[in-house]
Structure 1
Amino acid sequence: MRALRSAAAVVGIVVALGLGAPAADADQTPPASAPSMDAGQQCTPGKRLLSSAPSYLVDRLGLAEAWTLSRGRGVTVAVVDSGVQAGNVHLKGALVPGFTSFGGGSAPADADVAGHGTAVAGLIAARRVEGSGVIGIAPQAKIMPVRAFEAAPDSNGSSRDLVVPTTASIVAGIRWAADHGAQIINVSLSDDGSAGAYRSAVDYAHDRGALVIASAGNRRTAGTDGPDPAHFYPGELPGALAVAAVLADGSWSAESSYAGEHVDIAAPGQSVPTAYISGGDCVLNPDSASSSYATAIISGAAALIASRYPDESPDEWAFRLTQSALRVSPGQRSDTVGWGEVRPAGALALIDDGSLPGPDSPAHPPQKPEPQAERTVDLDPVSDPLDPARVIVGWGLGAGATISIVLLLISRSRARRLPG
């Protein structure tokens, strides 16, 4: 069984998780009984801590403006990952019934076997909690946990601490999510094989009105010292978005991310404050940018769009994201960040009339450059209507000059014959 390349390292260790009772669906939940921590404090599995520092993502991505237009209500985002901890204080009331795509697995979908899925879910839809600065991009969206990871026995068979996602479990998770009402399907990983299986799953989801958003690849956790992967499935497939990560200041880091024609869009993936398997908060990846978390941010932004524009297609949601992204040149993408860094407010306010430079609109035919008028070059000489006059003038000038010279010579000859 070939393991996939997860877009971020597994966070923490497998722990026994207690499941909390669901709370009312709201942005504000009752105060959490948990101590606070500074943003840089080490996260501890099993010990609930809250980060009081405001999330820098709110200002960097212009979320206050975006939230005046949408907060993700009515949209379900499937997190195909390691499970989502239902007991996390930020996710109470946020989860809908999920699925374990491994079949006969050791843990339900709303228990996180690694910590990765909870962090992804928190970035997408964490509810605000008193004493914490953590909040999701779409804080009124619902999370559908789809556990596609399994905790497998180690070589001695004595423990279960190796997280193993497979192509089959990921593909099954995508299909199940599409069948059960997810409008956005987050897949924070990439694989360089099994193109046919992933293509079938992405097409299946697309036909049911769901947008698959996946990692464009994370160099630090690719698990290979060889050449760069040739493909990044499912993100590079038509009908999906491939997400690259940038650092907290918006710059792209070759040490963290892969570049290529498959990259569609980028989002911050460094020092991200989010939900954690402690039941509280954690600030993840302080030293690098993870495309796992960048993918989650794009999924949250997509949820905002799907909530405001429920009648648009997944392709139109994707177009809003890429067209409005922040980039140097409006009409040009790059292999590092695709069409640029996401700007949710711009995506929500976008008016697509088919004339915008950049990615092709799914609602309008591609723009064609204005044809230039044909120019022909005639190599035959062209007669000048003034030529006869120029000839006459030329002859006149020539004759006058000749007469003047003759008269001058005669005058000098006569002068020589006169007595001195």
Structure 2
Amino acid sequence: MNRLLVPALLTALVVGVAAPSSSDDMGEAARAGQWQLGALRLPEAWRMSRGAGVVVAVLDTGVNSRHPDLAGAVLPGPDLTGATRGPWGQHGTAMASLIAGRGHGDGRGLIGVAPAAEVLSVRVTLENGDPLREQRRSGGGDALAKGIRYAADHGADVISMSLGGGSGSWEGSAPEEESVQYAIGKGAVLVASSGNDGDAGNRKNFPAAYPGVIAVGAVDRALQVARFSNRQDYLSVVAPGTEIVTADGADSYVVGDGTSSAAALVAGIAALIKAAHPEMSPYHVRRAIELGTRKRPADGYSRAYGHGVANALLALRAADRLAAPASAAPTPGAYFGEGPPPPSRLPVVAGMLTLVVALSARVIVRHRRRGRDSA
């Protein structure tokens, strides 16, 4: 089924708080506003992995590689929307900066969750403000399904989809679901935003609801679920999704709320895990993210929090445990003679005493028998 895909960024406000006097000042303000770095324990996680060697496909409105925080991080991909004009790349650039932003200069600009990873830009939807969205369906022919397959066929380790719903269709589509399973079969980890109508219709949102996709909701600075975050039984985890600073255009920044940002951050965590454990299956990457959470619900799961608040450091530790062999191979000790010494001499002594008693009993019996025969 063809349908318009709606990027899940809820609001956007220009960062120019206190009117920075230069781009350097703006970059410093952007870095200072990244409250998610501490919430996800990223400085500690980066000692274990920074996402090197991993490709994260950003299926969105396109990624602007000219933003200074994304220099050298963007791999060009196709435009599957069929649109030749209109706004381009704002939302996709924002999400890419959260995943693989590299900053610029000393302490300026945005740092993504996986700053050593690369992002593959695949345009599958139009911007919220694009008038063509009111006139036609994005792509005209399963753009998202095609984008997922393209990403899987072109080396994507992780596929990030901060989008969903649209055109009144919320039941998903067969081509999309088939493409999801195709990508998982090729080893890709798929992540999607849960949706932003949690305080309204709270509808089932695709692609988040497809089996195998890591569906992500949003929390605020207090790690409380944001009112707009969709609450569904397929929710996997939640992550920071309010007052999130992202890249915008070629050299500016915005602050926004939405499950879009939360999904991009979790896609970055998946990239950290894949860099540390390249052969780990999508299922085990998902389990590591779910096991490595904070603020876990009392019953272990809820429709609001999923398995809890995502945490990069704890997820990496969980991945290490999942990747460890079931039983460690025995290591040689200090004894290298004909065989290992017995763990204790007591069983040996007891056995020898038993053997002596048994032999003595046999000698006595034999002597008695001989006595009777000779009598």
Band the TM-score falls in, shorter-chain normalisation: 0.7 to 0.9
Could you tell me which amino acid in structure 1 is paired with residue 212 of structure 2?
Answer: G
Matched, 1:129 2:104: yes
Q: 1:260 to 1:93 in 2, by over 3 A?
A: same
Report matched runs for 1:3-402 at 5 Å.
3-9=4-10, 40=17, 49-52=26-29, 53-54=31-32, 55-103=34-82, 105-106=83-84, 113-130=88-105, 132-150=108-126, 165=138, 168-191=142-165, 192-219=170-197, 227-229=201-203, 231-254=204-227, 256-282=228-254, 284-285=255-256, 289-329=257-297, 332-350=300-318
When Rg is computed on C-alpha atoms for both structures, the one with the higher figure is 1
Letter in 2 for 1:40: V
Q: CA deviation at 1:313?
A: 0.5
State percent identity of aligned pairs.
Answer: 30
Cα separation, partners in 2 of 1:272 and 1:100, compared to 1, 3 Å: same
Return the alpha-carbon distance in structure 2 between the equivalents of residues 126 and 182 of structure 1: 17
Deviations 1:122-148 (A, max 9, x none): 000000212525210000000000011
Change (3 A) 1:11 1:101: farther
Aligned residues: 313
- Tell me the TM-score normalised to structure 1 length: 0.67
Distance, in Å, in 1 between the alignment partners of 2:180 and 2:50 is: 26
CA distance in 2, matches of 1:149, 1:310: 30
Secondary structure in 2 matching 1:171: helix
TM normalised by structure 2 equals 0.75
Contact kept in structure 2, 1:151 and 1:164, CA below 8 Å: no
| CA drift at 1:152 | 11
Query: CA 1:351–1:50 in 2, change beyond 3 Å: closer, same or farther?
Result: closer
Question: Closer, same or farther in 2 for the Cα pair 1:278/1:339, shift >3 Å?
Answer: same
Distance 1:40 1:193, change over 3 A: farther
Shift of 1:331: 5.7
* Alpha-carbon spacing, 1:330–1:310, altered in 2? closer, same or farther (3 Å): farther
Is the 2:61–2:127 Cα contact (8 Å) retained in structure 1?
no
Q: How far apart are 1:96 and its partner, in Å?
A: 1.4
Partner secondary structure for residue 185 of structure 1: strand
- 1:272 is displaced (CA, Å) by 1.1
Contact residue 115 and residue 276 of structure 1 kept, 8 A:
yes
Question: Does the Cα contact within 8 Å between 1:112 and 1:277 map onto a contact in 2?
Answer: no
Secondary structure of the corresponding residue to residue 120 of structure 2: strand
In structure 1, runs of 5+ residues without a counterpart are 13-36, 355-360, 365-420
Distance in 1 (alpha carbons) for counterparts of 2:144 and 2:17: 33
The whole-number CA distance in structure 2 between the counterparts of 1:228 and 1:338 is 15
Unaligned runs of 5+ in 2: 327-375
2:235 aligns to what SS in structure 1? Answer: coil
Is the alpha carbon distance of 1:160 and 1:237 closer, same or farther for their aligned partners in structure 2, counting shifts above 3 Å? closer
**Shift of the alpha carbon at 1:40?**
3.5
Instruction: Look up the equivalent residue of 1:301 and give its one-letter code.
Output: I
CA change 1:201–1:11 in 2 (3 A) is farther
| Contact map agreement 1:215 1:292 (CA 8 A) in 2 | yes
- What amino acid maps onto 2:236 in structure 1? D
Instruction: Give the C-alpha shift of residue 275 in structure 1.
Output: 1.4
Residue aligned with 1:332, SS: coil
Distance in 2 of aligned mates of 1:235 and 1:291: 11
Amino acid of the structure 1 residue aligned with 2:7:
S
Encode CA deviations 1:26-48: one digit per residue, 9 max, x unaligned: xxxxxxxxxxx9773589xx9x9
- 2: CA distance, partners of 1:212 / 1:334: 21
Structure 1 CA distance for aligned equivalents of residues 232 and 215 of structure 2 = 10
Please report the RMSD computed on the Cα atoms of aligned residues, expressed in angstroms: 3.3
> Residue 114 and residue 85 in structure 1: after superposition, are their counterparts in 2 closer, same or farther (change >3 A)?
closer
- Give a deviation string over 1:49-69, Cα, whole Å, max 9, x none: 424342222211110110000
**For 1:275-294, what per-residue CA distance to the aligned partner results, in whole angstroms no more than 9, with x for missing partners?**
11142333x12xxx400000
Q: Distance in 1 between matches of 2:220 and 2:236?
A: 17
**How far apart, in 2, do the equivalents of 1:51 and 1:83 lie?**
25
**Cα displacement string for residues 336-371 of structure 1 (whole angstroms, at most 9, x for unaligned residues):** 1100111111111126768xxxxxx9x99xxxxxxx
AA partner of residue 172 (structure 1): K
